[in-house]
Structure 1
Amino acid sequence: MTAWLARLDLTQRLGYAGLIPFVLTTLGVLFGVAGSSELFKLYSVVILAFMAGATWGALQSQTQRASSVDLTLAIGTSLWALMAYLLPADVAVPLLVMGYALLLWLDMDGSISENYSTEYTELRKRLTIIVVALHVLVFIAL
């Protein structure tokens, strides 16, 4: 484990560290720990809004090629996340998955992916797939 961590750069370490609250709250939901689903939902909203902002920022650097639709979808995702927060967890979790899927789709768009290294693009894909899988587990448990 230590050798694996030593090979990761700071971005990768922080990305994987960001999974820890998802994993812990998922385990809490699976084992029936009170409040776990609300904490899972809250953390998911925060991360989705953060990722939406990062995507919006990446699009902003492509002012010549970034479409207004992509910009609206990116920033709209943070509002989507806020709306999901106000709903019960069993409704919010699928909505949050839709937000993560939308951001992944936007990330794979040529105008954004040009801003990212291949390693970072792969990291975002990998982390998003893990996060979506954890959302599916939570949804099933709810």
Structure 2
Amino acid sequence: MTRIPTTPLLLGLAGLIPFIWGAITSIRPDLASLSSVILPRRLNGPVLMQVYGLTILSFMAGVIWGFAARTDGRKATLFYALSVLPPIWGFLTASGPTEPALYALIAGFVVLLPIDWSAARNGAAPSWWMSLRLLLTAVVVICLIVGGLAA
């Protein structure tokens, strides 16, 4: 695996902020008022991670679609088909009650890893992709666990 370029690394880390803030406000709900200028009052703690997690899971589906566009034939067909699964999974399992939704999101993010690995192995993802994905997924999963335990 090669070095992660600065821009995707910084943007990926910035994308963790809502997950981290959600985990912090899951543990310390009294801090939620600090974000009330930016976020609706209900979007703190576990609910913030649920809503944002659904958004990011769908975003990752778009990334898989992009991988499909970099391949052809059966590989492309497979990646296109796989790209529609994360939003369907999220819609069916993570749009309901918060606690089970957070655990469903954990499953969704973890199941994306072998898809990403396959894309990297097949040359559809850049060589640094898995380094970034493993880092970001580890933080996301830890935050979602914190939120799930607090929900």
TM-score if structure 2 supplies the norm length? Answer: 0.78
Which stretch has the larger CA shift, 44-53 or 68-77? 68-77
Task: Decide which of 85, 88, 102 is 1:93's aligned counterpart.
Answer: 102
Return the alpha-carbon distance in structure 2 between the equivalents of residues 119 and 86 of structure 1.
32
Return the alpha-carbon distance in structure 1 between the equivalents of residues 138 and 99 of structure 2.
20
What is the match of residue 19 of structure 1? 16
What is the match of residue 27 of structure 2? 30
The answer on whether the counterparts of 2:64 and 2:82 sit within 8 Å (CA) in structure 1 is no
- CA shift digits 1:56-96 (9 cap, x unpaired): 22023212241645432321111211233421111101111
The answer on whether the counterparts of 2:93 and 2:104 sit within 8 Å (CA) in structure 1 is yes
Return the alpha-carbon distance in structure 1 between the equivalents of residues 102 and 63 of structure 2.
21
What is the match of residue 65 of structure 2? 56
User: Which letter maps to 1:123?
Assistant: L
Higher RCO, 1 vs 2 (CA within 8 Å, ≥6 residues apart): 2
Aligned-pair identity in percent equals 26
User: Which letter maps to 1:71?
Assistant: Y
TM-score if structure 1 supplies the norm length? Answer: 0.83
Q: How many residues align?
A: 134
Consecutive unaligned residues of structure 1, counting only runs of 5 or more, are: 1-6
Which stretch has the larger CA shift, 38-47 or 72-81? 72-81
